[in-house]
Structure 1
């Protein structure tokens, strides 16, 4: 099993960041590569569509509001990975009320994908979030 983790400090309080990313079906609000997110099964599953019309289905497997993190597993996707589980966390930055650290990590079996390719997706996602927060 492979794993990767990417983190980034953003210019917003942890509460503001969590209010933007803490909703499991809110990816289109911050990620341009996801055009649509449909919550299913009471919000525990999300069906996503990208600009190519491809469908990604993910299941929420852990959620902790107080600790500002959630984990999800990919059920169906056009990605070259299997057994994919990812976690998104928001941490306070010590001594700063106006900044938060976001950590996005994942474990997966690579099926023609590398850890660096998956990390690149995470970096792109955190870059998009940074742009959203500074717009």
Structure 2
């Protein structure tokens, strides 16, 4: 089993970052890899159990299900249901916390998943850098634009 743990500090208030991230269907508005996204069956994007279907910029389609969502903890978890990439049994957790020194946000994003034998390193890097780090960078840029 592969485990990916990434975290960052954003120069934005935690409530502002949470307002963006808690929308399980809003990632196409800030993540550079996402072309479009929709929630299946017209369910609300904050309903535990809802499924988002989205396309990457290369046309690949993925489906993910919201497993938990807590406004009190500013956290959610989700799993991959369908993906062209062999990230098997993928479950991810996102958690925010206030950094009171400067009214900033601590953001932790982690996951565990299985891969075909021999692809562990390649897929760990894909998730760590291609999804999580590019997501951190994109939210940082998005929050600066929103604040401008």
TM over 0.5, yes or no? yes
Query: Which residue of the partner structure matches residue 127 of structure 1?
Result: 137
Structure 1 segments, 4+ long, off by >4 Å, are none
Q: More strand by proportion, 1 or 2?
A: 1
3-state DSSP class of the match of 2:59? coil
Structure-2 residue corresponding to 1:74: 80
Q: What is the CA–CA distance in structure 1 between the aligned matches of 2:87 and 2:132, rounded to whole Å?
A: 15
- State how 1:108-119 maps to structure 2 within 5 Å: 108-111=113-116, 112-114=119-121, 115-119=124-128
* Corresponding position of 2:61: 55
Q: Deviations over 1:2-26 (max 9, x none)?
A: 1111111111100000001111100
Deviations 1:81-108 (A, max 9, x none): 10000011111113332x1011110010
Query: What's the TM-score once normalised by structure 2's chain length?
Result: 0.85
3-state SS of paired residue (2:137): helix
Q: How many residues align?
A: 134
Unaligned runs of 5+ in 1: none
Match in the other structure for 1:65: 71
Q: 3-state DSSP class of the match of 2:53?
A: strand
* Counterpart residue number, 2:99: 93
Q: Quick check: 1:37–1:47 contact (8 Å CA) kept in 2?
A: yes
TM-score (ref. length: structure 1) = 0.92
- Please say if 1:30 is aligned against 2:30: yes
Q: Which runs of 5+ in 2 are unaligned?
A: none
Displacement of 1:110 in angstroms is 2.0
RMSD: 1.3
